[in-house]
Each structure stands twice: as C-alpha cells, then as structure tokens.
Amino acid sequence: MKIGDGGTRPALNVQFASDCDARIIVGVEVSSEGTNGGRLPPMLDQFEQRYGQRPGTAIVDPAFATKAVDKETKQLRTEVISSIPRSKQLIPHGIDPHERQKGDSDEYKSFR
C-alpha cells in the first residue's frame, strides 16, 4: 500500500462503523486498498445484513464522499453527511469546492 510518506509497504486499511446514539461499533472492514473511496457501500451492505435495514444517514470522513458513492447511496436511500473533499486541483486556482464542478451529477451538486 502507498503510505503517506510516499513509500510503499505492507499495510491494512481498517474501517469501523458505529451507531452514534448507542455508541457501539456496528461494522468492521479490513482491506489492503489504499483508499477509502468506494468503501461505504460495502459497509452499508454489512449493516443491512446484520440489522435487516439500511441506516437513514451516514456521517462520513470526506475520503468516503466520492461522486460514485453519493449517487449509489442516494439510490439506496441513505443520506451521506460529510464535509466536501478538498481538491488539490481546485484550491490553488481559487475555485470554490462548494460550487458545481465539471462532471458533477445533479445529486453531487446538491451534496456540495
């Protein structure tokens, strides 16, 4: 896995899902992927298998809030709450990351 210092080493990416009201861990996933993008839908599947329903809301780190995840979770009726992912391409050019960007779906524009 690529590590923050620019090198690559054996590593694991561990994700936890918790119930904010009950303060318990409701899901765990371990992968060797170096990104969190795309990891939310499998966690929601795991939650549904255990509890027979999907959560109405998922509060996530911005690394999970990709365009594909936003579209998929809306179709599955789970609202995603997150800060807007920072983009190294937008900030230096003075582009507001909250404004609609090229390639944004209507759903992702609403998320922004």
Residue 109 lies in a domain: no
Residue 43 lies in a domain: yes
| Dihedral class, residue 46 (left if φ above 0, else alpha if ψ from -120 to 50, else beta) | alpha
Number of domains in the chain: 1
- Structural domain including 68 reads 13-101
Runs of H (alpha helix) within 10-63:
40-51
The pTM score is 0.69
Residue 80 lies in a domain: yes
Higher per-residue pLDDT: 36 or 70: 36
The arithmetic mean of pLDDT across residues 71-90, rounded, is 70
Phi, psi of 27, rounded to the nearest 5 degrees = -165, 150
CA distances from 86 to 3, 65, 97 (A): 19, 11, 7
pLDDT at residue 90 in the model: 57
Residue 70 lies in a domain: yes
The arithmetic mean of pLDDT across residues 61-80, rounded, is 72
Residue 6 lies in a domain: no
Query: Residue 77's pLDDT band (boundaries 50, 70, 90)?
Result: confident
Residue 2 lies in a domain: no
- If one counts every other C-beta atom within 10 angstroms of the C-beta of residue 80, the result is 19
